[in-house]
Amino acid sequence: MKVKFDLAEILKSHHGERHLVVLHDFPDPDAISAAFTHRLISSNYGIETDIIYSGEISHQQNIALVRLLGINLQKFDPGLDFHPYQAVVFVDHQGTTVGEIYSALEEAKLPLLLVVDHHQPQEALKPEFIDIQQVGSTATIYAGYLEQGVIDFDSAIKDHVIAATALMHGIHSDTGGFIRATARDFSAAGFLSRFRDAELLDHILRQARSKHTMDIIHRALGNRATADSFSIAGIGYVRAENRDAIPQAADFLLSEENIHTTIVYGIVEDDERGEIFIGSLRTSKLTLDPDQFLKEVLGKNEDGSYFGGGRPLAGGFAIPIGFLTGAPNKEYQQIKWDTYDQQIKHRIFAKIGIEVGTDRQ
């Protein structure tokens, strides 16, 4: 779904306001770069913006991106005063993964001005303006705004170089190093290449995997169950700061011979938000729709929002554990994990037509 609009005209009509830009819970290069660019564009029209997120920034490349480019992000505080803001913007998501922030925004009655995203439509929000495009990244959409002249982009201006470098990283990351890139992703990268800092981008991309990430990949390898070219792995409990190892493990498992789809999941322990059952799907099978697959496997919550969703060749899900969060002892913790592990495997294998109890490696 895409609604045609002129971003410049929208921002002109909100001159002098202060907006809140909301990222999904675990911001990735696509979300971070798009939000930074949105702030850059907004400032040109006299609009102040603050970028917030809930969760963690844990992937080593994401940490490097934020630090090296000097991108200022604020972790959401439940006590945040919304009165200084006149509108909110959602970038690289449609509200399904930011339950705590979304509830606070609804209570504050802060108008949802704009949603910009590249994932499949979730139909959970009713913003004033929405731009959902079937491209490889949200960074591609923002590169398009820049190429259309929403601001006068100039390689002599430091913040413009930062935005171009970050957007290039966002496209590279969300398209699997351009393997899954569309023609428009390539076109956007071509435009950005005239402004980006190649040396800085190379430094960000060369960040090594952490020991914790390698341990989780090792755990996924040891726990994987395979059938009909699917590889499914539960990795148990994961600290919030290591959450980004889950999609990295899914990417790694996809490199195994005769495997076209991988799903890696675990229970993420967050001291502030409790426990969340989180997983990532990666596929090389063009006829498998991750968004539809995860929605059919996992269903909806009591508010009618899907637990999972995705885009071409990739998807993810997050299921709050709620009342069962925490454990009085290790034995109880293991019982809880076994229950979630068996339930998700049962649903996935049932979806692909494998009978429960069938021998699997």
Whether the pLDDT of residue 306 is over 90: the answer is no
* Amino acid found at 272: E
Assess contact for 257 and 291: CB atoms under 8 A: no
Whole-number pLDDT of residue 359: 45
Among 121-125, 149-153, 199-203, the range with the most confident prediction by mean pLDDT is 149-153
Put the strands of the sheet holding 314-320 in their side by side order.
225-227, 230-239, 261-270, 274-283, 314-320, 308-311
Tally Cβ neighbours within 10 Å of residue 272: 12
Predicted confidence at residue 357, as pLDDT, reads 53
pLDDT greater at residue 295 or residue 58: 295
Q: In order of start, what are the domains of the chain with their CATH numbers?
A: 7-205 (3.90.1640.10), 211-351 (3.10.310.30)
pLDDT at 50 over 50: yes
Looking at residue 170, what is its pLDDT? 94
Residue 3 reports pLDDT greater than 80: no
Residue with the bigger pLDDT between 278 and 59: it is 278
Residue 358: which pLDDT band, with cuts at 50, 70 and 90?
Answer: very low
Mean pLDDT of the chain: 89
Selection from 150, 199, 144, 202 nearest residue 172 by Cα: 202
Predicted pLDDT at 34 = 96
Lowest mean pLDDT among 172-181, 319-328, 342-351: 319-328
* Of 12-21, 36-45, 239-248, 325-334, minimum mean pLDDT range: 325-334
Among the residues of the chain, which ranges form H helices? Answer: 7-12, 29-43, 60-69, 99-108, 138-147, 158-174, 183-192, 198-205, 211-223, 245-253, 290-298, 330-351
Name residue 129's beta-bridge partners: 114
Q: Does residue 312 surpass a pLDDT of 80?
A: no
211/232 Cα distance (integer angstroms)? 22
Residue 301 has pLDDT above 60, yes or no: yes
Does position 154 have pLDDT exceeding 50, yes or no?
yes
How buried is 206 (Cβ within 10 angstroms: 0-12 exposed, 13-18 middle, 19+ buried)?
exposed
Dihedrals phi, psi of 105, to nearest 5 degrees: -65, -40
DSSP letter string, 79-105? T---TT-SEEEEESS-STT-HHHHHHH
d(CA 283, CA 260): 5
Q: How far apart are CA 89 and CA 49, in angstroms?
A: 10
Q: Could you tell me the pLDDT band of residue 102, with boundaries at 50, 70 and 90?
A: confident
Q: How far apart are CA 88 and CA 113, in angstroms?
A: 6
